[in-house]
């Protein structure tokens, strides 16, 4: 639960927000991380020292449900001459380390990120006659913060969030989100590390799909060029009734389609509802390792598998480097060297990474045929996997959200893959790899359309719905079907 009050109103845990020139005695009592972020807010809004603020009644570190201690709401006059309308500016407090005493975040030094290293912002177009900011964006930000705290996955600019519901619970077409750097908020150096500001941008379903198929940064740039769709500061208008492709039909073909053809997709993997089964021979019993994730007790990934898949997803974003699947090295420690605090885990961490894994689950096995299962949303990304990733010599991974398993499609240009042209289906424990053979990227392009119809039944392709009955027997005996979820 949360309450609304001016940030200067007295409260049990939050003293009034001081400016950068607060008296030393008062500043010493004020949480230093909070004080540093307030200083950046006061730089932007010197005439609004006490903005309205949504405050968590029971703080997260006291057992409350809301990870964000506060969400401040400012009125921004914009710049009509620059196509920047007046809007409400929301700023979160709590994803970074506000206190420095480990009540929420582990302190790891001043040189790295503070807490998760970022706070969320949101810009909502102010409606005519609106005298106070709506509070629903604060709950939206709390929802994203809960995901970050529960999964310990961080966001970065260009990320997308599939929300599948109007952000304000209305009938709006704005039902998903992209994330980008806030155009005004500058990174802040706090006593507990650096804090950057990521802005939430509301988008339509068609815009989300384009971001998935191409890249988030490209769609954000298009939104900046269309004033009614965001403009230079990417301000969300919940009353927007048209997508950028309806406003300017040339954007799809001239920018997005050409961008996919030239650049491919930056999306290297997703968490998904998926499963796979080895059809080389019937499983001998329910515990047979070839029935991974089909039974009620799915096998779990080893720490080495987890690490490799995690690095696969990270390296897939490095589109200018040669695509590489890092080899499984028994000498490497579980975990990944990166700038995040060691206590943070990635979305591909296994709860049982340190458990003893039977030898037969570690050994790489070549398979003759496999059965892949996806729910509709996950399966609809397979054309993206082909067009935006494999055709560009890259890889694409589905990581199951219902069990510790993964499916990685690899092209012939990916080093370190254990699936090869000779053995296009291979499994390492619960991790399946599927080679793009027998075509390879160059041959796949000219045959992409007919093979999509044969290889991936019951999927959307080029705006048409492919029925399940159109599936045929395939080379290497691969088949795919939907998962009921």
Query: Of the ranges 97-106, 417-426, 433-442, which one carries the lowest mean pLDDT score?
Result: 433-442
Q: What is the largest CA-CA distance in the chain?
A: 77
- Confidence check: pLDDT of 379 > 50: yes
Mean pLDDT of the chain: 77
- Per-residue pLDDT, 21: 45
- Per-residue pLDDT, 267: 84
Tokens of 338: 């990166």
Burial letters for 55-89: b for 16+ Cβ neighbours within 10 Å, e otherwise?
A: bbeebbbeeeebbbbbbbbbbbebeeeebbbbbbb
- Quote the percentage of the chain above a pLDDT of 70: 67
Query: Of the ranges 120-124, 125-129, 455-459, which one carries the lowest mean pLDDT score?
Result: 455-459
Please report the DSSP string for 117-155 in residue order.
EEEEEEEEEPPTT--S--SHHHHHHHHHHHHHHHH-PPP
- Per-residue pLDDT, 416: 81
3-state secondary structure string across 258-296: HHHHHHCCCCCEEEECEEEEECCCCCCCCCCHHHCCCCC
- Per-residue pLDDT, 338: 27
- Confidence check: pLDDT of 307 > 80: no
More confident call, 415 vs 451: 415
- Per-residue pLDDT, 84: 96
- Per-residue pLDDT, 461: 36
pTM exceeds cut of 0.75: no
Q: Report helix, strand or coil for 198.
A: strand
* Model confidence pLDDT, tens digit, residues 146-168: 999 998 889 999 999 999 999 99
Residues of the chain with CATH 3.30.1360.230: 268-280+364-440+451-457
More confident call, 397 vs 335: 397
Q: With bands split at pLDDT 50, 70 and 90, how would you rate the model's confidence at 298? A: very low
Q: Report helix, strand or coil for 366.
A: strand
Is 474 within 8 Å of 455 (Cβ atoms)? Answer: yes
- Confidence check: pLDDT of 214 > 60: yes
- Confidence check: pLDDT of 366 > 60: yes
- Confidence check: pLDDT of 259 > 90: yes
- Per-residue pLDDT, 308: 64
- Per-residue pLDDT, 334: 28
CATH class of 268-280+364-440+451-457: alpha beta
Could you give the CA distance from residue 43 to residue 185 in angstroms, rounded to a whole number?
9
8-state DSSP, 30: S
Residue whose entry in the numeric block shows the structure tokens 């949101």 = 122
Could you give the CA distance from residue 484 to residue 27 in angstroms, rounded to a whole number?
56
CA-wise closest residue to 17 among 297, 354, 113, 31: 31
CA-wise closest residue to 199 among 250, 249, 137: 137
- Mean pLDDT across 446-468: 42
Is 224 within 8 Å of 234 (Cβ atoms)? Answer: yes
Note if the bond before 438 is cis, omega within 30 degrees: yes
- Confidence check: pLDDT of 196 > 90: yes
* Model confidence pLDDT, tens digit, residues 10-68: 343 444 444 444 444 444 578 999 999 999 999 999 999 999 999 999 999 999 999 99
Query: Of the ranges 287-291, 303-307, 390-394, which one carries the lowest mean pLDDT score?
Result: 287-291
Could you give the CA distance from residue 260 to residue 361 in angstroms, rounded to a whole number?
37
């Amino acid at each position: 639960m949360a309450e609304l009050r001016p940030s200067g109103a007295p409260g049990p845990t939050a003293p009034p927000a001081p400016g950068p020139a607060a008296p030393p005695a008062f500043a010493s009592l004020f949480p230093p991380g909070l004080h540093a972020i307030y200083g950046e807010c006061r730089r932007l809004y010197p005439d609004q020292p006490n903005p309205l603020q949504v405050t968590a009644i029971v703080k997260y570190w006291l057992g409350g449900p809301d990870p964000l201690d506060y969400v401040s709401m400012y009125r921004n006059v914009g710049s009509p001459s620059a196509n920047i309308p007046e809007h409400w500016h929301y700023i979160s407090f709590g994803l970074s380390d506000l206190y420095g005493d480990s009540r929420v975040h582990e302190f790891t030094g001043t040189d790295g990120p503070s807490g998760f290293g970022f706070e969320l912002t949101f810009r909502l177009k102010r409606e005519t006659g609106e005298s106070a900011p709506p509070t629903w964006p604060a709950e939206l930000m709390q929802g994203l913060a809960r995901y970050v705290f529960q999964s310990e996955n961080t966001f970065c600019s260009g990320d997308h969030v599939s929300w599948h519901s109007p952000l304000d619970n209305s009938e709006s077409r704005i039902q998903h989100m992209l994330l980008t750097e806030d155009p005004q908020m500058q990174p802040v150096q706090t006593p507990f590390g650096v804090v950057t500001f990521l802005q939430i941008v509301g988008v339509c379903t068609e815009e989300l799909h384009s971001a998935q198929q191409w890249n988030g940064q490209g769609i954000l740039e298009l939104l900046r060029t269309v004033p009614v769709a965001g403009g230079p500061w990417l301000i969300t208008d919940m009353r927007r009734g048209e997508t950028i492709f309806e406003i300017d039909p040339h954007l799809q073909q001239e920018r997005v389609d050409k961008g996919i053809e030239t650049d491919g997709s930056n999306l290297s993997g997703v968490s998904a509802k998926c499963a796979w089964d080895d059809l080389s021979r019937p499983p001998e019993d329910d515990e047979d390792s070839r029935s991974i994730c089909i039974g009620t007790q799915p096998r779990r990934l080893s720490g080495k598998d987890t690490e490799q898949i995690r690095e696969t997803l990270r390296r897939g974003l490095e589109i200018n480097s040669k695509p590489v699947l890092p080899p499984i090295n028994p000498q490497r420690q579980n975990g990944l060297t990166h700038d995040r605090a060691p206590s943070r885990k990635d979305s591909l961490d296994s709860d049982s990474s340190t458990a003893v894994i039977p030898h037969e689950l570690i050994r790489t096995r070549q398979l003759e045929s496999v059965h892949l299962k996806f729910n509709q949303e996950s399966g609809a990304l397979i054309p993206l996997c082909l067009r935006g990733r494999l055709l560009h010599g890259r890889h694409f991974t589905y990581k199951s959200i219902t069990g510790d398993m993964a499916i990685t499609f690899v092209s012939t240009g990916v080093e370190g893959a254990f699936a090869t042209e000779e053995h296009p289906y291979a499994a390492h424990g619960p991790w399946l790899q599927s080679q793009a053979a027998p075509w390879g990227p160059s041959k796949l392009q000219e045959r992409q359309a007919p093979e999509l119809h044969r290889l991936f039944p019951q999927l959307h392709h080029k705006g048409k719905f492919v029925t399940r009955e159109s599936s045929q027997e395939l080379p290497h005996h691969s088949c795919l079907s939907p998962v009921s979820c």
